[in-house]
Each structure stands twice: as C-alpha cells, then as structure tokens.
Amino acid sequence: MNTNNSISLKRVKAAYERQFGNDYRFFSAPGRINIIGEHTDYNEGFVLPAAIDKKIYLAIKETNDSKVNLFALDMEESACFDLNKPQPDLPHWAKYVFGVVKELEELGSKVSGFNATFGGDIPAGAGLSSSAALESVFGFALNNIFGLNRSTLQLAKVGQMAEHNYAGVNCGIMDQFASLHGKAGKALKLDCRSLEHEYFTVDTGDYEFILTDTHVKHSLAESAYNKRRYECEEGVMLLQSQMVQVHSLRDVKPKDVVAYENILGEEIMLRCLYVTEEIERVRDAAEALETNDLERLGELMYKSHAGLRNQYMVSCAELDLLVDLTKDNPDVLGSRMMGGGFGGCTLSLVKSSGIEHFEKIAVENYQKTFGKTPSFYPISISDGAQEILR
C-alpha cells in the first residue's frame, strides 16, 4: 500500500470512529486509467482500462432504522436522507450514494439505514473516475453488509445507472466495471457489448505509465459528453438506412463510415470514424501488450489522441500541449488524453530513467503557456473493490 493510501485509510477510520463509534466494516474501490479505447464503451466497442492505486475508502455500518447518515471526509461535508422519503436536496457527491441505493432497490434488493464515512486520494475532476469509485465502493459495501448477493457485473450496472439517473451523465460502463473488476498488474479488455472481459499483463519493463494532470476540471463538459453520445446514435440511425444489420458503431468498419460521408455529413462522419478506428486500436493494443511490443502500444496511444483531438473533438489546448511536448522526447513511447476529455489528465508511457526530464519539459512549457503547473501521478495497477479486514 502506498503512503497516500495508508494515510487516507487511517483518516477515514478515525473520522468514522469519532462520529459513529468502533463497530463498522471497511471497504475500498479504486479509480482507473484507460490505456486505450476512449468513448467506445457506449458504442458497444472495446476498452482497455486498469484499476489504479488511488482509491476511495469507506467505513460503514448498518443501523436499525431507515436513515442514511453520510460524511465525506475530504469535503468535510455531511448529508443524510431517509430511505422511505423522496430525495431531499443533496450535495452533488451524495446524489451518487443516493442513486446507488435507489438502483439497488430497483433490482429488488432491500437496503436499510446505515452510517458511512468515506475519503480517499483520487483527485476529483482529473478524469480518474472518482465518481465511479464512489458508486463502486458503496455498491460493493452495501452488497456485502446487507447480503444482497449481487454480482460485480450487476454492481457495475447499478453504478452506471446511478450516474445516468441521479448525476445526469449518460456514461458507458467502463469506469464502474474497471473499479469493480481490476486486478493488480493487469489491464482488462472489456467487450462492452457482451460484457465479457479478459485480463492482459501490463509489463512495461524500463518504461512506466504516468499521468499528467492539466488541472482543467472536466465537469463542465458533461453536456458535451452527452452530445457526443447523441451524435453517435444519430450516426447509427443514418447508417441503418444503408446497412440494415447495423446495431451500433461496433458493427461498422472505418471504410463504411468514409463511404457514407454524403449521408452522414462531415461532423457525424468524423465522430463515427474516430469510434470505429478506436475500436480497432483497442484490439491492436491488447495484442501489443500480449507481445510486449511497447513501441506499437505507444504509436496507438498517439493515434488515439489524434483521433480524440481532430475527429471526436473532445480534447483541449492544455491536453494537446502536454501530448505535443512528448513527441520529440525519445524517452516517451506514447501519450494521449485520457477519459471523457475537455480536461483531466494525459497518460504517457515514459522511460523510467527519463521521467524527471519529461516532467521538467512539461512544467516549463505548461507554465509558460498557461501560467499554471501540471501535477504528475505515477501509477501502479491494482486490485478492484474489496473489503479490508480490520
């Protein structure tokens, strides 16, 4: 466990004990990186995420009534709601918890009241899926403390639905799935149509993945995220008029997208072209991991960024600069924006001995252009949601 993890863990336990007493169970769920496969999940494509060692920790205990008492340690904010009453006015973070409870009830699971304190070390708004980690840790913990017998796949869907119905983001299933199914040292290739997954060992040898945080918060982009989703759906509808067997962009090849540009129009064509090409890149990247071809993996990451920037148009100047700065650096094999876009982090594959230099270049140029300093997070790939025995 890294130092930040153990600090968070102790802080959460101490805060719970101060407020609610010594009798509780303890859980964690991680954020994620995504090696490649961006905006492909809601198009029934493939993704290649991995859970990381930045997590949310949760101390929780059921009560005998219908009241839920929550304390968010990092925000130092409390919230409560009654399971038998309509949704009260809640702070943003508490809507995710309320949503998870309601979506579990929707499945027919019986949840009663509980006390809970949580906190962690996933930077919020950095594109590392802190909200999915929150949904996952609550889903996982409630499943355990109330003996609900839900599978981790069901819990991932519960988290996704909480996001749709209570936070207003029509996200795909990647983040929640990765937070619940991650494995130390492995990336998981998820088929977002069948929801089958396969693990791939991530052995980066002399290289490592590093996140660079632009500190551009991406929450304002929620409506643009939903807009991209509609654009893809529109693309599918238009393609269906020519290719009856098309159910999602998963069924379409890049060459078909190009062939039907006159029907799609330029903008929708570019969106669909990006998605269909990115789906192919995930297959290639998984193969590159398998054969330990890091150069190939790096090239695919650069191509993914170019597509996200020029075709899908979900990047921003800060992300683009950070990626561009790596292009002449021989220590960097690949770099790209990661997650929903419009801010958050880049993910780069950098030679370990060159990390210091890589950071120096980024800091100097980023400060010069944007007047602020990016942060760097080294990552190690870890296990998904779990109970931590006390």
278 touches ligand GLA by CB under 6 A: no
Residue selected from 172, 298, 307, 384 as contacting ligand GLA according to rule CB under 6 A: 172
Mapped onto helix, strand or coil, the DSSP state of residue 202 is coil
Least Å distance between CB 196 and ligand GLA? Answer: 17
Three-state DSSP at 221 gives: helix
Please say whether the beta carbons of 72 and 93 come within 8 A.
yes
Q: Looking at 38-46, 63-71, 208-216, 347-355, which segment touches ligand GLA (CB under 6 A)?
A: 38-46
Distance in angstroms (rounded) separating the CA atoms of residues 309 and 357 = 25
Read off the tokens for 226.
Answer: 């939903």
Q: How far is CA 388 from CA 8, 61, 239, 353, in A?
A: 13, 14, 49, 34
Which range in 140-148, 168-176, 234-242, 262-270 contacts ligand GLA by CB under 6 A? 168-176
Q: Which of residues 313-342 bind ligand GLA (CB under 6 A)?
A: 339-340
Interacting residue with ligand GLA among 12, 72, 97, 171 (CB under 6 A) = 171
Strand order of the β-sheet with 332-337 is: 332-337, 345-351, 207-213, 375-378
Q: Which of 33, 35, 41, 307 touches ligand GLA (CB under 6 A)?
A: 41
Q: Which of 9, 137, 142, 174 binds ligand GLA (CB under 6 A)?
A: 174
Phi, psi of 139 (to 5 degrees): -60, -45
384 touches ligand GLA by CB under 6 A: no
Overall residue count recorded for the chain in this entry: 390
Q: How far is the CB of 365 from ligand GLA (least distance, A)?
A: 26
Separation of alpha carbons 146 and 117, rounded Å: 17
Which two tokens mark 202? Answer: 């991530």
Q: Which is nearer to ligand GLA, 121 or 163 (CB)?
A: 163
Options 8, 28, 38, 142; binder of ligand GLA; rule CB under 6 A: 38
* CB atoms near residue 45 (< 10 Å): 26
Q: Is 203 a catalytic residue?
A: no
DSSP run (H or E) holding 98: helix 92-106
Is residue 39 a contact point for ligand GLA (CB under 6 A)?
yes
Any idea what DSSP says for residue 181? H
Pick the catalytic residue from 175, 251, 256, 383: 175
Residue nearer to ligand GLA on the CB measure, 120 or 172: 172
Q: How far is the CB of 221 from ligand GLA (least distance, A)?
A: 10
Name the residues annotated as catalytic: 175
Task: Give residues in contact with ligand GLA (CB under 6 A).
Answer: 38-39, 41-42, 129, 171-172, 174-175, 339-340
